[in-house]
Structure 1
C-alpha cells in the first residue's frame, strides 16, 4: 500500500483521482446535471486509466506480456459488461448490441491502430509474435459468422421466426463460451510456447509487489465501471438533445469510454516497444467481448432483461465487425508494424464513426 500511495504522490496525473469520489457524490446529489456529470466522469476516468496502466505493467513484469495482456483485457471488459447489464435491465437492447459491436471494432481497429501509430512514431519498425494475432483473428472470424446465423434465420418467412432466432442465439452463446474456454486452454496451457514474447522492448523492474498490483487492478476496474456507468447515463441524455442515435452512442462513445483503461495500457506498452502486449490487449479484448461478454449478456437477458435478447445485429454492425476482423487478420499476419499501418487502421475506424454519426436515430432497424 505504501508503494501505491508513493506513486500517487509522485505522479501529478494521479492527483485527479479526487474526481472519482466527486463524481460519485455528484451523481447522488444532482442526478439531473448531465453536463456536469459528463465532465466529472471524463476527469475521473483519465487518472483511473493511468493507475490501471501502472498496475498492469507491474503484473506483466511478473507474468509476461501475454498473460499480463490477458489479465488487463479481462478486467477491462468488466466495464463493458457492467454497463451492458445496466442497459439490459432497462430493455435498451439497441444500446447493448451497439456497445458490443462497437467494442469489438474499437479494439480491433482503433486500439490496435493507435498502438501501432504511437509505437511507430518512436521506433522505425516494431516486431511482435504473430501467433497470438492469428489466433485472436480466427476467434473473431468465428464470432462474426455466429452473428450472421441468427440474422439469416430471422429473415426467413417461417412461423415463430423470432422464437427460433432467440433459441439459436442461446445455443450459439453457449458454443461461443466453450470456444473461448478452449482458446484459453490452448494459449495458456497446451501450446503456450507459441505465444511467447518476441523479447523486444524496454524492461524495467516491477515497482509493486504482485499482490498489490493485482488488487489495484481489481479495485480500479470496479471504479472505472462505476464512473463509466455515470458517464453513459449523462451521454445518453446529451445524445437525445443533439439527435444522436442509440447506435452511435453505444457503438462509438460507450465503446471508447469502456475501453479507456485498456487503451492506456496498450498505448504505453507500444511506446515501450512491447507490441506483444499491445496486440494481446487489443485483439484479446475484442475476442473476449465477442466470445464471452456477448454470449453472457444473451444468457443474462433471460434473467435480468424484460425479454430474451438475441444475437441479431443490424446489417451495418455485422458488416463493420466483419471488415474489422478481416483487416486485423491481414495486418497482424506479418508480425511487423510501422506508424503508417496504425494510421490506416485509425482512419478506417473514423470512417465508421462518421458513417454512424450521419445516420438518423431509428434508422438501424429492429433490435
Structure 2
C-alpha cells in the first residue's frame, strides 16, 4: 500500500483530462492508474472493518467489496451497452485470478521456499464450486451456439436470468458453508492478524470515499474504451478480458504474492480462487440482474472465452490437487495465461 498512494496523483490529473476532453488514450491510462490505489484502499478499509465487526459480518463485507471495483466498472459499461466488454471482464477476472495471480504467488513463493503447503480441503471445495460455475456458464452458450437462431423464442431471454439466480443461490450457500457450518476449515491463517491500524470511523470514511472515487474514475475509463480501442486498433474483448481485470485486481494481486512470500499459501490461494468464485457466482449474476434496468444482458460467452475458462479451471484443479506448490507449477499457470492473452490480442 505504501507505493500505491503515490498513484493517487492521477485522480486530479484524470479529472482535468476528462474536463478538457484530451486524447482518450491518455484518459484511459490516467483513470486506470487512479483506480489501482483506490481499489487498494477499498480492500484495506474492508479488512480493517472486518477486525471490528467479527468474522461473520467481516466475511460478508469481504464478499461484497472484494470485487467491488470490477462491479462498478462493469456497471458503467452496462449503461454504455458494452456487453462484450462486461462479459470479457468477467471471464478475464476469473482467468487472471486462477492463472496469473495464483501462478505468480506459486512462482515467487516457490523461489523463496522449495515446497509450500496449503489447505487441500479448501481447494477441493473451491474447485468444485468453480467447476459448477463453468458448467452453469456453458449450458446457455452451448445451447445458443448449437440451436438454430430462428428456433429461439422470447422465453430464451430469461434463460440467463434463471441460470444467474441459480448461481447466486449457490454462492450464498457457499458463504454459509464457509462461515458457519464448516468455518473450522477456513481462516486459520488470519488468526494472528487481528491488530487494527485504523479506527472504525476512519475505515468507513475511507471505504465510502474510495467507492465514490472509483465510480467517478470508472465512468471516465468506460467512456474512453471505444475511442481508445479504435485509435490503437485493439479489440474491446482484449481490453475487457486482459486490461480491465488487471486494473481492478492490481492491489489484490500484490497482496496474494506478498502472502506467498511470507509462506502463507493458504491465504494466497484463498485470495486467488476465492476472488474468482465471487466474480463468477456473485458479480456475474448481479450484473445480469442490473442489466434488466437498462437492456437485458445474456450470460452467453463466446466459444473461446468459454474454452479459456474451462481450461483455466481444469489446470488449477490439477496443479492444486496435492495441497503443495512449487515455482515450476507457478510458471506453468503463468504460461497458460500468457498463451490465452496473446490469443485474445491477435
TMscore range, shorter length? 0.7 to 0.9
Cα drift, residue 213 of structure 1: 4.1
Cα drift, residue 40 of structure 1: 2.3
Q: Does 1:168 align with 2:159?
A: yes
Q: Does 1:247 align with 2:237?
A: yes
Q: Tell me which residue corresponds to 2:143.
A: 153
Change (3 A) 1:329 1:94: same
Contact 2:189–2:267 under 8 Å retained in 1 = no
Q: Tell me which residue corresponds to 1:262.
A: 252
Cα drift, residue 176 of structure 1: 0.6
Q: Tell me which residue corresponds to 1:362.
A: none
Q: Which moved more, 1:141-150 or 1:254-263?
A: 254-263
Q: 1:98 aligns with which of 77, 80, 88?
A: 88
Q: Tell me which residue corresponds to 1:26.
A: 17
Q: Tell me which residue corresponds to 1:132.
A: 122
Cα drift, residue 205 of structure 1: 4.6
| Inter-partner Cα distance in structure 2 for 1:56 and 1:277 | 16
Deviations 1:256-294 (A, max 9, x none): 112223213222222222222221121111111111111
| Inter-partner Cα distance in structure 1 for 2:178 and 2:236 | 36
| Inter-partner Cα distance in structure 2 for 1:323 and 1:142 | 14
Alignment of 1:181-260 (within 5 A): 181-197=172-188, 205-209=195-199, 212-213=202-203, 215-217=205-207, 219-260=209-250
Cα drift, residue 46 of structure 1: 4.3
Q: Tell me which residue corresponds to 1:277.
A: 267
| Inter-partner Cα distance in structure 2 for 1:268 and 1:199 | 14
Cα drift, residue 174 of structure 1: 0.7
User: What RMSD, in angstroms, separates the aligned Cα atoms of the two structures?
Assistant: 3.0
Cα drift, residue 321 of structure 1: 0.5
Q: Does 1:336 align with 2:336?
A: no
Contact 2:35–2:248 under 8 Å retained in 1 = no
SS in 2 for 1:259: helix
Q: Tell me which residue corresponds to 1:286.
A: 276
Change (3 A) 1:283 1:210: farther
Deviations 1:326-367 (A, max 9, x none): 112222222222222112111110100100111xxxxxxxxx
Contact 1:108–1:324 under 8 Å retained in 2 = yes
Cα drift, residue 185 of structure 1: 0.3
| Inter-partner Cα distance in structure 1 for 2:161 and 2:53 | 35
Q: Does 1:310 align with 2:310?
A: no
Structure 1 unaligned residues grouped into runs of 5+: 1-6, 359-367
Contact 2:102–2:272 under 8 Å retained in 1 = yes
Change (3 A) 1:343 1:228: farther
Deviations 1:146-205 (A, max 9, x none): 1121123323237551534322211111111110000000000011112243589x9685
Cα drift, residue 250 of structure 1: 0.8
Give TM-score, length-normalised by structure 1: 0.82
| Inter-partner Cα distance in structure 2 for 1:23 and 1:271 | 34
Deviations 1:57-77 (A, max 9, x none): 656777899997885564241
| Inter-partner Cα distance in structure 1 for 2:82 and 2:36 | 27
Q: Does 1:179 align with 2:167?
A: no
Question: What number of residue pairs does the alignment pair up?
Answer: 345
| Inter-partner Cα distance in structure 1 for 2:317 and 2:29 | 37
Change (3 A) 1:162 1:320: farther
